Amino acid sequence: MSADLKSKTAVVTGGTRGIGRAIALRLARSGVNLVVNYHKNEAAAQALVQEMKSMGSSCIVVQGDVSDPHAAQKVISIAQEHYPNLDILVNNAGITKDNLLLRMSEEEFTSVIATNLVGTFYCTKYASKIMIKARQGRIINISSVVGISGNAGQSNYAASKAGIIGFTKSVAKELAGRNITVNAIAPGFIKTDMTDNLSPVQKENILSRISMGRLGLPEDIASLVDFLVSEEANYITGQVFRVDGGMEI
């Protein structure tokens, strides 16, 4: 637990399931007030609210599609209305729509870019306006190892995640003078709903490439987020951190 995070406020997009949920719970345990966004799964959102309540943590859930600028703005505004400050933004919401290039529809390509990359742009733009005024802030963008190495059947997803890396580095340069750090995390294969629908053959193939011989857990990502938003990470910005169990060493 990071003592210096007590009473800070964080927005976590796509924070009701998988990696985002683990990040929200981890930050809540560090005393952070949470505004957690989700898109469609109301039951998962309510389950998180209950869990936060049982921990005695302050958490507001906000439905909205981050690829819609009005919805993204609403998520950030709600944080501003309910809490005195907005200290942390975690751009985690993401989707996959895999297909080989020649079979990939325009919708499959553009909707993945819209959610993963454009959604990150909207939330960062609106949140950074508040952070610039406060002259402090932490932004963490969830990319992927696929954005670094590419992956057959995921040209849309890889482009969105590579875009997040370029976006992170550029915004880090723009905001460093305002005491706002911007970093990206590139997870390998993490056990969530997103990876649960991989076929047994795909899973075997992936496992054979991971030095540690197992998929990662959402908590493996959450603990790095907790560090990157703490005082100890004050001087770290514009970086991309792989958390992949040694897929590429």
Binding track, positions 191-210, relative to ligand NDP; x by CB under 6 A: -xxxx---------------
Stretch that binds ligand NDP, among 65-73, 80-88, 204-212, 230-238 (CB under 6 A): 65-73
Q: Does 124 bind ligand NDP (CB under 6 A)?
A: no
The b-or-e profile of 2-28 (16+ CB within 10 A means b, else e) is: beebeebbbbbbbbbbbbbbbbbbbbb
Stretch that binds ligand NDP, among 50-58, 60-68, 78-86, 232-240 (CB under 6 A): 60-68
What does R_g of the chain's alpha carbons equal in angstroms? 17
Q: Does 245 bind ligand NDP (CB under 6 A)?
A: no
Q: Which of the residues 38, 122, 126, 157 is marked catalytic?
A: 157
Q: Does 20 bind ligand NDP (CB under 6 A)?
A: yes
CB of 34 to ligand NDP, least distance (A): 13
Distance CA 168, CA 58 (A): 28
Spatial contact of 11 and 89, defined as CB atoms under 8 Å apart: yes
Q: Rounded to a whole number, what is the largest CA-CA distance in the chain?
A: 51
Residue from 92, 124, 156, 181 binding ligand NDP (CB under 6 A): 92
SS3 104: coil
Distance CA 67, CA 70 (A): 9
Spatial contact of 114 and 95, defined as CB atoms under 8 Å apart: no
Q: Does 95 bind ligand NDP (CB under 6 A)?
A: yes
Distance, first Cα to last Cα, the chain: 29
| Residues touching ligand NDP, count (CB under 6 A) | 30
**Adjacent-strand bridge partners of 187:** 243
Residue from 29, 31, 44, 47 binding ligand NDP (CB under 6 A): 44
Closest CA to 244 of 220, 208, 222: 220
Distance CA 63, CA 75 (A): 8
Told to judge if 126 belongs to the known catalytic residues of this protein, a careful annotator would answer: no
CB nearer ligand NDP, residue 19 or residue 86 = 19
Q: Does 2 bind ligand NDP (CB under 6 A)?
A: no
Binding site for ligand NDP (CB under 6 A): 13-14, 16-20, 37-41, 44, 65-67, 92-95, 115, 142, 144, 187, 189-190, 192-195
